[in-house]
Every structure is written in structure tokens, then in C-alpha cells.
Structure 1
Amino acid sequence: MRNIIFFLMLCRIHATCAATHFLKGFFTAGTGLGAFPDFVAVVLVDEDAVAYFDSSIKCLQTRQQWAENIEETFTDVYNELMNSFMQALKSFWKEHLEPHNQGIHTFQLMFACQLDDEGKTGGYRLMFGVDGEDFFTLDTRTFTWIAANQMAEDIVKQDQNSAENAAIYVKILLENECTEALNVFIHYGRESLERKVPPEVSLLRRDPSSPVTCLATGFFPEGIAVSWQKDGKDLHEDVELLETVPNENGTFQTRNRLTVSPADLKEHNYTCTVGHNSLERKIIKTMTEEEIKTNLDPGNFSLSAIIGVVVAIFLLAIISIAGVMLWRRRRVREL
């Protein structure tokens, strides 16, 4: 899904405020998937997977040690919520889509919110997809639906009232349910979520004619700045900054490639500068024959896949579970 992929990339671009935290939910439902669960939900906080649910286990599981301390009332409420959500998706599929579609199909939903230490909220996102293609996106400025194709547009037109009501419910869920859940996670996981781990920086090159890669890895949090300089001046040409991606141990890595000729390398001074909020001073690597590690292909470095395919749901499914979610939220507040 193009919009969702863009959103995931955007979330990794240099976070400037370490006290701002993000919650992202990735849900997927499908038919004809064989042994693979027909419903999977993953919740991430600042790129750490903290909760998991699928239709086989039917129970919310924590994925971080600190999350195991979250109050039982909270997990019970969201465990029931996940089961209700799963049943709503199945019912919607069976009633509205199954008679017209056979074979393997997937539905994705991604939602997100953010919260900082001053209590400021925002960063609301909601996207739907069907069979890997964009379907609906919620414009969170106006809380109206943006249809990605004719089928989605027809669904909105068929029942405008339902579409408007669904947008209202989603607004409440993002501004209340999502931020309240994120606040709980921050309370229990602040020490881990706000840890600072400095990067390790290396210069790599496959052979003398290949681009030189400045690799920064093992850092946390995610926001980082990696740049090239030529004789002390920032370089923007012949530079390729790659996406920041997670490592398997919960840290991150990124790469910045510079294409430079052997002649220029001899005549000029090239440096790679890395800035990160875990560092008192920026790391500067000077491009010399001694500093560059050769016979290494940066593309072979182990990268973790971004957790979670996202889950999509249609308007009627949202409305069918909205009442349950709001009722559960009131119940949590009363407890």
C-alpha cells in the first residue's frame, strides 16, 4: 500500500524530540490463507512491538518485558476488544464480500497517534487497504474519507450517513483510545523507550570503484543525522541516504552512500559526520584507505523487516465495534 509505506518511511525521519512517543497499530485479516491466522494484530510503540494478538491464540500477548507489568484490567479490556474486532471483520466479510469474491484476500488497517511529555497529542493516522492496494485514507484534518478507487468511493456514496458516523467514531477512538493506550505504555516502559544507545560508525566499500557507504548501526532512539562533507563543506550531489531500519535487537541502522572517483578521493578530504542525541560530540569519520573497510557489501548486512502487515476494515466493521470500544473505555475509567 503506497500511502502506508510512505507513512512508515516518514515516521523514521529524524525525530527531533526524544520525549515524543508514537503508537502504531497494524491489523490484518484475510481469507484463504491456509495455516496462517486469518486475523493478526501487532501494536508498536516507538518501533518496539509491545503487543500481539491473532485468531489462533485469541489472547493479547506482550512482546516487551516491561509490558508484562501492565495492569490486568487494561489487558483484559483490550483482549475482549480484539476478539470483538476480529468477529466484526469476519461477519462483514461473510455478509458483504464473500458471495462476490473467492480465493485469497487480505484486508489491512493501520492507525497511529503520538503523545509527548507535556501531554500534547497528535500524529493521527488511519489507512485501509484491500489485497495490498490502498482503499481508504482518513483525512484527520477534516475527518472525512479519501477513497483510493471507484469501489471505495461507491461505498461512501451508498451510505453517506454511515461514512460520516464512522469518521466521527474513528476521531473519538484516535483521540481517546489510542492516546490513552499510549499513555499506559509510556508509564510502564519509559525507561526502555527513552534509553539512549550511541551508534557504531563504519566506512565500507566493496572495491575501489564502488561507492563508499557510511554505516551507522546499533543506535537508539531512531532519529539520526548522517551526512557527507568535501573539504569541510556539506555534500548533496552523488549522495544517497537510505531508510533507517530496525535491527533485531531493537536498535536501528542507516546508511549514506557517496559516489566518488579515486582521483577526487586523492585530491580532496571527504568525511562522514553522524549526529545522534546519545552523543556529546558528533562522530566524524575521515575517508582514508586505512579507515575504509573493503570487500564488504553493505547490502548483505542483516536488516530486520518492518514488523507488521497492516489490517484493513470497511466502514460497517468500524461502526459495528465502535460501541464496544467506547463502552469498554468507560468501563476502564470506572475501575
Structure 2
Amino acid sequence: MSASLLAAVKQAAAGTPAGAGRPAGADADEAPAGAVPTVPGNAETAEALHVWLTRFEGQILQRLPKGTEPGPFLAAVRDRLPVLEGCSPASILEAVLACASFGFNPDGKEAVLTREGPLAVFIPTYRGYVRAMTNSGAVTSIRTGLVYACDEFVYEPTRPVPDDFRHVPDMDARRRKADLGEPRFAYAFAWLAGGDRSQPVILSREDGEEIRDQYSRAYQRAVAEGRADTFWHTDFWHMVVKSAIRRLPKTVPMSAEVHALMAVDEAADERRPQLEHVPDPETEALVAEAERAARAAEGSQDVPPARLPVKANRRGRSKPKKQRGGRRGARGRV
């Protein structure tokens, strides 16, 4: 993304209404050139937002990581525009750019574009976190699950890994669904590249409620305003699983991309600009190269030094250079 675009977005974002968590003062007229006014939602407004957003399509696509298909990404963005009607156009652009920086399609699987008051925000799902954690190569997979009363579930932290943790879902009850009842726990753990397993993070409903009540600014604002439209309201156990995954970096090596994703997620919750925390591709490449060099250097300590190559003579035997040189000198005097 060009510096001029970033400056335009920051200037426009500063024009959001007071109390939105960003500096107040300007109005929607200070959004990037061509921005449409924020008006009550209707199909014409969504289409107008789409037309305006296409002016920045080049900059948006520049943020997509290599290998990300632009077509599905742009289609997913367009599908979300009706939900974002009435949001500041500058915040819509900022949310789209932040989402593009991680290469997530905002189709609800790995990420979503949604509204937080007058602002559009990019929110990664727990599947987005899983993808980011496995991108670095240090983590091969993330396992998550919900434990119901009918399941076999044992966690004995004093036993050796992997015998300390066991979850056997009752598949018959899952097929019946009505017999499941409420989950008892959500958990997450990681398998590392070396074959080790991380310590599992296990959260109960009470743990989830405590995290929600103490740390989710979006939930607190919704309660104060009499709303029940946050993800903590509509998909409680999804958020508990996400909270378990977000606690894995305390014991599992994580890449700069994961830490950036956590910062962007927190910025959305607190209505702060998200673009300040997105990963920088050039910096990411340098960090990745440094990490590869460090792993190669560590690995070289375990490998015996290679023998220096020795040139063989015509009969296939190798001889010291001095001896071979002496013979050449002798033949020259004959």
C-alpha cells in the first residue's frame, strides 16, 4: 500500500464520530476522494460503496499475499458491503486493507468484515488464527474441540505427554444433537514441527464469561447500549474456542504474523485503527530469512564437517598435491 493511501485512510479515519475510539473532529467529507456519504442502508448505497471501493482495487490487491486468489477475495468483500452500510467509508477501506494484508477471504470462515458502531472492522475467526499459526512452519496443526457431558474427557497434567490428555466424543449423541446439551469445555492445543505437543488450553463456560466480561470492549459497549449483537452474544462457544487459541502463544512459538493478527483483533475490539498493526511484507520476508538462517546454523552444529574434496589421478587414486607436482616436474626433464 502506498504511503499516500495510508495517509488518506488515516486522515479519513480521524473523521469518525466522537466516542468511536478514534480522534473526532472532521466529518465524512474528509474521507478519501470519491467517498460516498454515510446514509441509511439500502441496495443503492451498497452498490455506491462498491463503485467507490473499486477506485482502490489496485492498492487492495497489492496487500494480498502471494498465492491469494483476488477474485474470491473481492467477491467476498462485495457480499459484505450491505452489512457495512452506514459505516464510515474510510473505516470500510481500512478494514478491507487489513483483511487483505493477511490473505483471508472475509466470507465468515477465516475472517469477517462487520460493523462496530459507526465503524467497519476486520475480525479474524478462530480458523483464521489456526491458518496464521500454521503458516510459519513451526506449528504443524492446531486441534480444537468442544467437550459435552456425554463425552469421555480426561486431563491429568502430571502424566507424560500425550497420555495426559484424552477426549473421545460421543458420536451417537452428536448425530442426535438434541441430546448433547451445553458444552462443558472448549480446548485448543498445537502439534509442533518437531513432533511435540503443546500444553492444552482448556476453558469452561465460566472462564469464557470472565474473559468476555473483563476484556471484550465490544461486549461491554453492547451491554451498556442495550444491544445483543456481538459475537459473544451470537456465538459464545466460537469465541471461547478463539480465546483458547489466543492463549497458545504463551507456550508455543509464534510468528510475527500471529502477533500482528492479535494486535489487529484487539484494535477492532477497542475501535482503534487496524492498519497500524498489519504485517509488512518486506519485514516479514527479512524475519523469515533470519529464522531460516538461525535454524540452519543450529542444525550445522549437529552435523560433522564435510571432508575437503581431493582430486583423483587418472587411475582413480588420490594423491597429495606435492607428490603429483613432483612427478610432473620429473617428466618435464626427460
Whether the TM-score (by the shorter chain) exceeds 0.5 is no
Higher relative contact order at CA 8 Å, sep ≥6: structure 1 or structure 2?
1
Larger Rg: 2
TM-score (norm 1): 0.25
Instruction: Report which of the two has the higher share of helix.
Output: 2
TM-score by length of 2: 0.25
